[in-house]
Chains A and B, each alone.
Chain A
Amino acid sequence: MKAAIILFPGSNREGDAFRAISAACGEPIIVWHGQTELPAGTDLVVLPGGFSYGDYLRCGAIAARAPIMEAVRDHAVRGGLVLGICNGLQILVESGLLPGVLMRNARMRFVCRMQHLKVERTDTPFTSQYEQGQVIKVAIAHGEGNYEADSETIARLEGAGRVAFRYCDSRGVVGGAANPNGSTNDIAGIYSENFNVLGLMPHPENLIDPLVGGTDGRGLFESLAAFGKAA
């Protein structure tokens, strides 16, 4: 699995993504956003978390128009894998690669804490190493994670099973106080139509080492590695 991590001015989780991918899939290449081409043979593009362009204008808006994003779009259209984490998801919706928008958290606070998620399906390149309905504990850290889209789009996502993860409590109960940001239908991550693009607000890349609170994030990177081997 040949992975490229795109570095934007203001990205700050590229190191975490680098470690998580190195451990499961082999060492990725860091690609500066001003480039116009991905390294030859790139299988997976990662848009890491952070505050690209200081969240100016709208979160992810300026990064979504960076030179490299044309190549990322072409890669996605060809069926290549794209993983957007946190600010990476915000960039994906701003670039139109995923639908909807991330609004300010409903309670106006930046939330930084551990969060349980329910894995909605396991037949995708990103989740094969999890169990259907498995509850995992990962970190969240965002001020704009409130996923919104018009009701037609939400119905389309739900109908096609394109919700990847939902916020839940430790027993797997979705909704209510377990939703940290007011996100519609407790959506924490969504897939593209062909399930080759995944964007999620939580940080699985931070939960790969027992030293820092758990290893529930490993499954995602191990799934990518397994997908790469099978391909």
Chain B
Amino acid sequence: MKARVFVTLKNGILDPQGKAIEGALKSLDFKGIESVRQGKIFEIELAGADRAGAEHLLREACEKLLANQVVEDFQVEIL
């Protein structure tokens, strides 16, 4: 079984990397881009086929390590 974990900065947290990327895209003349925020994706392979169990496990992994909940949100997607 495969899963994806998305970790993104919470709203209102300054994201200087996203801002720099946004500036670069604008300077390349990509029209219509309003803002860019950068995050992380973790692609995770899991043993077994228990989807609910996998989701529970990955949420715990996010809380313990993958996300810093002071500034980051996470989302777990079982594929």
- A69 CB → nearest B CB, Å: 12
Question: Per a CB cutoff under 8 Å, which of A61, A100, A108 touches B16?
Answer: A108
Cβ-based interface call for A105 (8 A): yes
Q: Which of A106, A149, A182 contacts B70 (CB 8 A)?
A: A149
Main SS class of interface, A:
loop
What are the residues of chain A within 8 A of B1 when measuring CB–CB?
Answer: none
Task: Say which residue of A99, A104, A146 sits within 8 Å of B17 (CB atoms).
Answer: A104
B64 within 8 A of A: yes
Give A122-166 interface residues, CB cut-off 8 Å to B.
146, 148-150
Cβ contact within 8 Å between B68 and A94: yes
Q: Which residues of B contact A100 (CB under 8 A)?
A: 70
B13 touches A65 (CB 8 A): no
A211 in the interface (beta carbon within 8 A)? no
0 or 1 for each of B38-67: is its CB under 8 Å from A? (1 = yes): 000000000000000000000000001110
Q: Is A101 on the interface with B (CB-CB < 8 A)?
A: yes
CB nearest to B20 among chain A residues: A108
B78 CB, min distance to chain A CBs, angstroms? 22
Q: How far is the CB of A216 from chain B (nearest CB, A)?
A: 30
- State whether the Cβ of B25 lies closer than 8 Å to any Cβ in chain A: no
* Interchain CB contact under 8 A, B17 and A57: no
Chain A, interface size category, equals 20 to 34
Chain B 11-38 interface 0/1 with A at a Cβ cutoff of 8 Å (1 = within): 0011011001000000000000000000
Q: Does A58 contact B (CB under 8 A)?
A: yes
Contact A57 B14, CB 8 Å, known A101-B71, A108-B20, A148-B71? no
Distance in angstroms between the alpha carbons of A104 and B21 in the assembled complex: 14
Query: Taking CB as reference atom, which chain A residue is nearest B42?
Result: A57
A146 to B20, CA, bound (A): 16
Say whether A61 contacts B68, CB under 8 Å: yes
Q: Is the CB of B66 within 8 A of A65?
A: no
Asked, given contacts A103-B13, A103-B14, A106-B16, whether A57 binds B65 with beta carbons under 8 Å apart, the answer is yes
Which of these, A65, A101, A148, contacts B65 with CB under 8 Å?
Answer: A65
Contacts of A148 in B (CB 8 A): 13-14, 71
Residues of B whose CB lies within 8 Å of any CB of A are 13-14, 16-17, 20, 64-66, 68, 70-71
Selected A-B contacts with CB under 8 Å, 16 pairs: A61-B65, A62-B65, A65-B64, A93-B70, A99-B70, A100-B70, A101-B68, A101-B70, A103-B14, A104-B16, A104-B17, A107-B16, A108-B20, A148-B13, A148-B14, A149-B70
